[in-house]
Amino acid sequence: MAGIKALVGLSFSGAIGLTFLLLGCALEQYGVYWPLFVLIFYIMSPIPTFISRRLSDDSDAASNACRELACFFTTGIVVSAFGLPIILARVALIQWGACGLVMAGNAVIFLTILGFFLVFGGGDDFSWEQW
């Protein structure tokens, strides 16, 4: 039952984050859909972690090269997702209010992705083959 509650909570927070993103695009005073390109970063951000968990050996070492490389790529993807709205606002493709809404959506979505890995990735009985 705890897994279902966590899944519902993660779904709710993901919906809130996407609502912020869509508000930054679709409100009448903004009306530009360029910020939707951050969806690519949302899709790409968990991929390095999934690959590193699949490829790395299950030793008790605190760190290995595969996990460190996955953290590096994930950090680059997350920073790019926060940087894209700033760049779009600087070159006046979107307004700064839309940039703020997209940044709020980014924070909520990436915290949701982190929450997924913390809730569903820590147990020994969990298998990555389910996802």
Q: pLDDT (tens digit, 9 = 90+) per residue, 97-113?
A: 999 999 999 999 999 99
Please determine, for residue 125, whether its predicted confidence score (pLDDT) is greater than 70. Answer: no
Closest to 104 measured CA to CA, from 19, 44, 37:
19
- Whole-angstrom Cα distance, residue 25 to residue 33? 5
Specify whether the CB–CB gap between 86 and 96 falls below 8 A: no
- Whole-angstrom Cα distance, residue 113 to residue 18? 13
What phi and psi values does residue 123 have, to the nearest 5 degrees? -80, 155
- Whole-angstrom Cα distance, residue 7 to residue 116? 8
- Other CB atoms closer than 10 Å to residue 14's CB: what's the count? 18
User: What digits encode the pLDDT tens for the residues 36-93?
Assistant: 999 999 999 999 988 988 887 666 566 688 889 999 999 999 999 999 999 999 999 9
pLDDT of residue 31: 87
pLDDT of residue 76: 97
pLDDT of residue 121: 75
- Whole-angstrom Cα distance, residue 99 to residue 91? 12
Please determine, for residue 126, whether its predicted confidence score (pLDDT) is greater than 80. Answer: no
- Whole-angstrom Cα distance, residue 92 to residue 112? 29
Closest to 109 measured CA to CA, from 46, 67, 50:
46
pLDDT of residue 52: 87
pTM (2 d.p.): 0.85
